Every structure is written in structure tokens, then in C-alpha cells.
């Protein structure tokens, strides 16, 4: 598979209705702000997406190119996402989407 995304990692935050009601807009804004503060804008890109089909498990956040899906994400985990997943490739196990649950 070819990986031709223009950033090292692309973080997709669902900001459709259900996730938004649970705070995804604030998650996106904090993520964007922290990436800017840390001068990481050219490497990591946060973007909003419209519904990934896991509304009941939101707020949902995906990280590409690996395709990691996090559920029940909250604003207070943004720093973990940056410091662990983005900078060290450490998965936030407790937030991982589990298809059979």
C-alpha cells in the first residue's frame, strides 16, 4: 500500500452531531492549538471529519496513516495523544476502538 499523505500523521476528529454534543469541537480546537504551540504544524495535521459511523462510541478520533481509531475521546487526553501517539508511536490502549464490544 502506498502512503502518500502529506504529513507524518493526520489526526481526524469527528465533529458531526453526536460527537460534537460530547465535546469533539473542543477536542479539535485544543489539538490544533497544542500542535501550533509545540511548532509541529508541518508534521502533524488535525482535521475535522463528518461521521465515521461509530456515533454511539464518540467522540471518535482517528490517526493516519496507521488507521488507529480511538473512542470516547476527551479533551483531557489531547496531550497524551500528542506526547505518546504522535511523538512516540505509543498507542493509547484504553481508548482503542474494540470492534466486538
Q: Smallest gap, in angstroms, from Cβ of residue 2 to ligand FES?
A: 27
The sign of the torsion formed by the CA atoms of 81, 83, 86, 91 equals negative
Q: Smallest gap, in angstroms, from Cβ of residue 18 to ligand FES?
A: 4
* CB nearer to ligand FES: pick between 12 and 35: 12
Q: In 47-101, where does DSSP find H-type helix? A: 78-80, 87-88
DSSP category for residue 10: E
Q: Smallest gap, in angstroms, from Cβ of residue 80 to ligand FES?
A: 20
Torsions phi, psi of 53, nearest 5?
Answer: 85, 15
Would you tell me which residues interact with ligand FES (CB under 6 A)? 14, 16-19, 51-55, 58, 60
* CB nearer to ligand FES: pick between 74 and 87: 74
* CB nearer to ligand FES: pick between 55 and 87: 55
Collapse the DSSP code of 51 into the 3-class scheme (helix H, G, I; strand E, B; otherwise coil) and give the result: coil
Amino acid at each position: 500500500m502506498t502512503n502518500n499523505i502529506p504529513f507524518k500523521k493526520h489526526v481526524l476528529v469527528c465533529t458531526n452531531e453526536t460527537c460534537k454534543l460530547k465535546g469533539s469541537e473542543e477536542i479539535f480546537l485544543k489539538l490544533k492549538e497544542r500542535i501550533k504551540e509545540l511548532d509541529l504544524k508541518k508534521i502533524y495535521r488535525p482535521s475535522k471529519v463528518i461521521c465515521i459511523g461509530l456515533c454511539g462510541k464518540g467522540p471518535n478520533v482517528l490517526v493516519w496513516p496507521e488507521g488507529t481509531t480511538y473512542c470516547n475521546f476527551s479533551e483531557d487526553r489531547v496531550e497524551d495523544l500528542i506526547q505518546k501517539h504522535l511523538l512516540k508511536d505509543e498507542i493509547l490502549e484504553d481508548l482503542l476502538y474494540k470492534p466486538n464490544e
